[in-house]
Amino acid sequence: MTSTQARHTRRAVLQAAVDASARCAAADPDLFFRAENEPQITWQARRAEAIRFCTGCPTRAACEELALRAGDGNTRVDDMVRGGLSGTELAAARTAQAERLTTAAAADRDTEGRQLDDLTVKLRTQASTSPDGRCNGGRIHQDENRAEQNRRIRALADQIRQIRTARRARAGWGVAA
Ligand code: SF4
């Protein structure tokens, strides 16, 4: 995915790309963050290493776009790397692309809202469907059907919870209750 493609891609797709291919998935997270009171000289060396690491990441463009939409980075605090950019570079890019990012974030919210509506309808449908089933001469496999229905309900509830958690986190509510 190029940076141009990432800009036109919805958040859920960007996140799926990062989840599937992030080079840092097995890396030490400390590589990307400055420790408290860490001297500038050691952070500069690690920051450069982190940026080099990101340069080889197959999902760098998606990661950068997610970081921009999430509001990562600060013009006054040089303490992180994400998507191949330092925190100060991310903040500068966010300012330069403010209008575009506002539109992208609004589109993401709309998409998530529709996803939530669809998932909620599916969940209600599953929950209100009788688990009883018949096959091979009319034998009822209630236990198997109930287990399968419960699995579907749990999967739908998980999807709903993940979307709500992400929305609340973006709104500054932290972890969803
Ligand atoms: S670009 Fe860097 S921070 Fe983003 S997923 Fe890849 S390695 Fe991780």
pLDDT in tens, 35-91: 999 999 999 999 999 999 999 999 999 999 999 999 999 988 899 999 999 999 999
The boundaries of the domain holding residue 142 are 109-170
Co-location of 116 and 78 in the same domain: no
Which of 15, 31, 47, 54 for a ligand 1 pocket mutation test, highest count of atoms within 8 Å of Cβ? 54
Cβ-Cβ contacts under 8 Å for 20 (sequence gap 6 or more): 59
CA angle, corner 16, sides to 150 and 2, nearest 5?
Answer: 165
Q: Give the position, in ligand 1's atom list, of the atom nearest the Cα of 58.
A: 6
Domain shared by 49 and 88, yes or no: yes
Residue 152 parent element (H or E): helix 142-170
Asked if the structure places residue 51 within a domain, the reply is: yes
User: For residues 126 and 153, is the Cβ–Cβ distance under 8 A?
Assistant: yes
Instruction: For ligand 1, atom 3, name the residue with the nearest CA.
Output: 82
User: Of the residues 63, 96, 129, which one is the last residue of a structural domain?
Assistant: 96
Query: What is the C-alpha separation between 110 and 10, in angstroms, rounded?
Result: 10
Number of domains in the chain: 2
Give the bridge partners for 140, in sequence order. Answer: 134
22 lines ligand 1 (CB under 6 A): yes
Cα–Cα distance list, 151 to 55, 131, 156, 157, 159 (Å): 40, 12, 9, 10, 13
> In this structure, are residues 20 and 78 in contact, taking their beta carbons and an 8 Å threshold?
no
Residue 101 covered by a domain: no
Domain membership flag for residue 104 = no
- Residues 136-154: pLDDT tens digits? 545 567 788 888 889 999 9
- Would the CB of 73 count as within 6 Å of ligand 1? no
Q: Is 83 in the pocket of ligand 1 (CB under 6 A)?
A: yes
Residue 19, CA atoms < 13 Å, CB-side half-sphere: 6
